[in-house]
Chains A and B, each alone.
Chain A
Amino acid sequence: MTQLALVIDLNVCVGCSACVTSCKEWNTSGSAGPLCDENPYGLNPTGTFFNRVQTFEIGQFPHSETLHFPKSCLHCEDPPCVPVCPTGASYKRKEDGIVLVDYDKCIGCKYCTWACPYGAREIDEKSKVMKKCTLCVDRIYDMSMPEADRKPSCVKACPTSARLFGDIHDPESAVSLAIREEGGYALMPEWGTHPANHYLPRRKTKLKIHMDELERADNPLKVDGHLPKPAKDASSMDDASAW
């Protein structure tokens, strides 16, 4: 079984929102119709997005850090939004695990948004149907594109490669490796939704130097300074033999 997913590396996300604009550009231009905006140039612009970058401040000044947090549909392996849909418009694809909405079947009752703990779905205020991330399903299987382009639009756009895309059920895939080796985690694990998308935590690279790396470890008798060896601050053998 395949489960396509995104793995988002919070360690390198800089919050530039390139994924947001690239997602919107691709998904508002497709055959499924636009993702509608209201007052795009007005005082309170609002519209439908599949992906947003949020920012959190962790800790208190001066010991605080900024976390940029891209958020989109997590394509849960046990999606709570799917069984509640009365029309079958929301479904999870067996072949690749992508959770999708059939815009022609959706009646806009919003019940699925109540059932999603992550707030990943947004109604399109013009067409009045529910919309959400498709993992660019109209892109990743498009054989007319070069293979390198058959990735979700957000993944292609990320300048820091913070977004990885692949099959998390394949233990050798880059995403599985990243989850396994870089501490990938799921959001709100308490609800048992088993999100397919994972996040890699912020990690700091620290150089650890132990005392025995500064001083000789192979000196069990502490005979440094005794004969025949000179003390550390005394002239060395080289000095002694150099005359």
Chain B
Amino acid sequence: MKPAFSVIFLTTLIGAAQGLFLALFTHQSYALFGLLPMQSDEFYGNGSAIAMLLLGGGLFAAIFHLGKPIYMITRAWRGILQWRTSWLSRELIALPAFMGVVFLFGVSHLAGFRPVLLTLPSGQPIDLSFVLGVVGTLLAFTLFVCTAMIYACLRFLREWNSPLTVINYILMGGSSGFILAAFYAASAAPDQADFFVGWAIIITVLAFAGRAASLVRNARLKPKSTMQTAIGVKHPYIVQRSMGAMGGTFNTREYFHGKSIAFMRAIKPAFLIMAFVVPLALLAFGLFTPSLLGVAFVLQYIGLLAERWFFFAQANHPQNLYYQTIG
């Protein structure tokens, strides 16, 4: 497939935002039960604001995935109508819902509006921000699943049609968000940075394993559709002589990444190093040198952009069987 930069930015930006929110709320949950010192409202509130910025950036990128940007105003609202069947429609519902809850979570902290809603049997008070955090956590995972299922549900794009797609979207978004949280904590609450760095290392290792597993799986895929099933002729030698167009068509532009085999070979180790190996090394050093955490986030984000590009480019659409030659 031809990678669309709008979708590459959308999925990586909101992935980081979801991970950041999950990191912040994980910390608040630990703190609620006394496992970590509770931080100031500004810590959670400002962190949510950063998540909101990333989500806004993702939403802005998504505008350019529409046929015309004006469709965002005139037609995009229709996108939520088919939630019964379309994962894209579900994502279009989950994204604003998640944004709304992150916003309210941040506001409840920054405004200090945290009325106690219920008390646990242990006497632990549960305030509004905690309830919002639980809802936000559920929505963050819902959004991860919706985003990944857009690709994983397409059964003939076999590189995507796997549970690994969903797992990897969650893990890579989580890794990105936790590294950002570690960097944020290094400046806003330095004594808490190690907590985020620890989780970031665990999630990044898991993401590395998950992505490597999907690469191994994809390398072993054998195409189900062949020239023979595409035109229904049983003969081992079938060569296309004409595609029915001379100057290329939508079908020759949309379904192929347009890069050389050498480029595809080079970008695979490149993104594995940039998105997983380098951040892991910097996280390990970041335990002693917090400023490296910012470098880790930025370098990993570039690596994740490359990863997402490769994710789209690697999918081989069966329609390409019908478009093999210009003539």
- Chain A residues with CB under 8 Å of chain B are 17, 20, 39, 42-49, 52-60, 64, 66-67, 69, 71, 80, 82-89, 105-111, 113-119, 122-123, 125, 127-129, 185-191, 199, 201-202
Residues of chain A lying within 8 A (CB to CB) of residue B154: 80, 84, 114-115
Q: Which of B229, B240, B245 contacts A188 (CB 8 A)?
A: B229
Q: Which residue of A lies closest to B83 (CB)?
A: A86
Q: Which of B79, B225, B251 contacts A117 (CB 8 A)?
A: B225
Residues of chain B lying within 8 A (CB to CB) of residue A82: 85
Comparing B70-78, B100-108, B283-291, B303-311, the segment that makes contact with chain A is B70-78
CB-based contact B87/A52 at 8 Å: no
Q: Which residue of B lies closest to A64 (CB)?
A: B237
CB-based contact A52/B156 at 8 Å: no
What does the 1/0 interface line of B199-239 toward A look like (CB < 8 Å)? Answer: 00000000000000000000000001100011111010111
Determine whether B123 belongs to the interface, using a CB cutoff of 8 Å to chain A.
Answer: no
Residues of chain A lying within 8 A (CB to CB) of residue B187: none
CB distance from B92 to the nearest CB of A (A): 6
Q: Which of A45, A48, A54, A118 contacts B246 (CB 8 A)?
A: A45
Residues of chain B lying within 8 A (CB to CB) of residue A87: 75, 78-79, 81-82, 89
Within 8 A of A (CB), among B235-264: 235, 237-251, 254-255
CB-based contact A83/B85 at 8 Å: yes
CB-based contact B75/A199 at 8 Å: no
Determine whether B86 belongs to the interface, using a CB cutoff of 8 Å to chain A.
Answer: yes
Q: A43 to B247: give the CA distance in the assembly, Å.
A: 8
Q: Which residue of B lies closest to A38 (CB)?
A: B247
- Chain B residues with CB under 8 Å of chain A are 1, 65-68, 71, 75-76, 78-82, 85-89, 92, 150, 153-157, 224-225, 229-233, 235, 237-251, 254-255, 317-320, 322-323
Smallest CB-CB A-B distances: 8 pairs: A108-B67, A119-B319, A128-B67, A52-B244, A44-B247, A83-B85, A87-B78, A86-B89
CB-based contact B82/A199 at 8 Å: no
CB-based contact B240/A55 at 8 Å: yes
CB distance from B310 to the nearest CB of A (A): 17
CB distance from A15 to the nearest CB of B (A): 8
Residues of chain A lying within 8 A (CB to CB) of residue B254: 110, 113, 123
CB-based contact A189/B250 at 8 Å: no
Q: A54 to B80: give the CA distance in the assembly, Å.
A: 38
CB-based contact B225/A84 at 8 Å: no
Q: Which residue of B lies closest to A198 (CB)?
A: B232
Q: Which of B68, B240, B322 contacts A119 (CB 8 A)?
A: B322
CB distance from B288 to the nearest CB of A (A): 46
Residues of chain A lying within 8 A (CB to CB) of residue B241: 55-57, 66
CB distance from B196 to the nearest CB of A (A): 35
Question: What are 27 residue pairs bridging A and B, where the CB atoms are less than 8 Å apart in the complex?
Answer: A43-B247, A49-B249, A52-B245, A54-B243, A54-B244, A55-B240, A56-B238, A57-B238, A64-B237, A67-B231, A84-B87, A86-B78, A86-B82, A86-B86, A86-B88, A86-B92, A87-B78, A107-B71, A110-B254, A114-B157, A114-B317, A115-B154, A116-B319, A117-B319, A118-B318, A123-B67, A191-B224
